[in-house]
Amino acid sequence: MSYQSVDKLQNALSENIFHYAKDKKKASGRALGTIVEIITYYLIKSWNLNSSTSIERGLEEYGNPEISHNVEYSLHPILNKYEIFLPKTGKSLTANSLLKELEKQEIELDKFTKKNNTLLSIHDIIRNACTIGISDHSYLIATLDSETSKIYKIKIIEQSHKAYSMFECKRVGVEEGNKKGPQTIEKAKQGAYVARTISSLQKIRIDTGELYGILYKDKKTYTKPYTDLLNELIFSKDNELLEKFILTIGIVSNHGNWFTSENQNKELKVLAQSYDWLIFLTDNGLSQFIELLILKPSKEYLPIKEAFIASYTATKKRNRFTKVQMDKKADELLQKFFIENKKKIENWFNIISPAGKTIAELKIELNELKNKNWKKIL
């Protein structure tokens, strides 16, 4: 690795990409946060969870629906799947055009309120997990599945409002001359609060310090050591237990504040005991992504660097490198990179909690939840 720390990597971005900015270190720090979100998103896609994914969805607190919290990514039960085909006309793929084509299949759409989002713009920018309709209990999500020289194939997914898992990304930078970012503990507390309040599985400690889980079932409370109860719930066939359970996953990255997965500071410990899974994106992983795809890409991956620069140049016209809006060619290449390098990319991450578990076990749990009979459960 050319850069021994993320701090040095951030300095390289500051000098090579953000030299125009008044505070180039801060600008590169914000970009690093976006990159962590994008790595997380394409990791989820590489696990074949794209059809379940929503972005920046508000999830209600368990037992307290008056309060909801937006999370980076949430995974939702799939209620229905449709396919449509549209000709390439040079025009944008708008929600209106997609819904009109879907109506030809005699699908009842009256319950949905149309959202004025664009799946693919005339500038070749894709809207990831593009919401085109919302009903009282579900969302209609459009994704660009494939294309020929003349035709787009588009998947329309009806997702339940209820999520079965969520991902949040936390990263805090350190300003020059400071040992610690002033917002570190606040971001940790914010993430911990959301992780602890949106699922039916709650956490308590007993006087010995051991962490227990507690559930409300059959008008009674049900408690066990936390990891035992979490495992029991994920693999349960009990509809009542599953109905309001959400597996919470935090992705954290280092920049001075978080230390490492082995050398945890206070804030990291707060997050580790709040999320069901806390995953650490290593400096090496973040550096490899940036070096291979942004700073020193091969000719094949040059469109990713171009999309990144176009989003952050002083004269930018529109974003084309974010978790929501992504340059179409960059999207294709990112998917290719993550699929072809899946094992290497999974090794970019360390599991902080649950202790002793692996990425492979997380994938098993997510697939177990994904494949539940949600139509019956809900």
Element (H, E) at 227: helix 226-234
How confident is the model over 240-246, as a mean pLDDT?
93
Do residue 29 and residue 150 come from a single domain? no
Joined together, the tokens standing for residue 143 give 């994704």
pLDDT value at position 209?
86
CA distance 331 to 376: 35
Is residue 241 in some structural domain? no
Q: How many domains does the chain have?
A: 2
Is residue 180 in some structural domain? yes
User: 258-316: per-residue pLDDT in tens?
Assistant: 455 566 667 778 888 899 999 999 888 998 999 999 989 999 999 999 999 888 876 66
Do residue 151 and residue 177 come from a single domain? no
CA distance 200 to 216: 7
CA distance 58 to 73: 10
pLDDT value at position 288?
92
Buried-state track 204-240, b at ≥16 Cβ within 10 A, e below 16:
eeeeeeeebbebbeeeeeeeeebbebbbebbeeeeee
Joined together, the tokens standing for residue 106 give 């005699």
Do residue 138 and residue 119 come from a single domain? yes
Domain that holds residue 133: 78-160
Mean of pLDDT over the chain:
89
Do residue 112 and residue 144 come from a single domain? yes
How confident is the model over 67-75, as a mean pLDDT?
96
User: 73-122: per-residue pLDDT in tens?
Assistant: 999 999 999 999 999 999 999 999 999 999 999 888 999 999 999 999 99
Non-local (6+) Cβ contacts of 304 within 8 A are 293, 294, 297, 321, 330, 333, 334
At residue 185, what is the residue type?
I
User: 170-215: per-residue pLDDT in tens?
Assistant: 875 454 445 555 456 677 788 889 999 999 999 999 899 899 999 9
Q: What angle do CA 338, 188, 250 make, to 5 degrees?
A: 30
Do residue 22 and residue 131 come from a single domain? no
pLDDT value at position 178?
52
Do residue 18 and residue 117 come from a single domain? no
Do residue 48 and residue 194 come from a single domain? yes
Q: What is the DSSP string of 337-371?
A: HHHHTHHHHHTTEEEEESTT--HHHHHHHHHHHHT
User: 116-160: per-residue pLDDT in tens?
Assistant: 999 999 999 999 999 999 999 999 999 999 999 999 999 999 999
CA distance 307 to 88: 22
Do residue 110 and residue 257 come from a single domain? no
Kind of pairing between the strands at 64-75 and 138-147: unpaired
Q: Which of 160, 190, 209 is the last residue of a domain?
A: 160
> What percent of the chain is predicted at pLDDT more than 70?
90
Task: Decide if pLDDT at 10 tops 80.
Answer: no
pTM of the model: 0.93
Q: Do residues 223 and 204 touch, judged by C-beta distance below 8 A?
A: yes
Q: What is the DSSP letter of 21?
A: S
Q: Do residues 366 and 247 touch, judged by C-beta distance below 8 A?
A: yes
pLDDT value at position 1?
45
Is residue 276 in some structural domain? yes
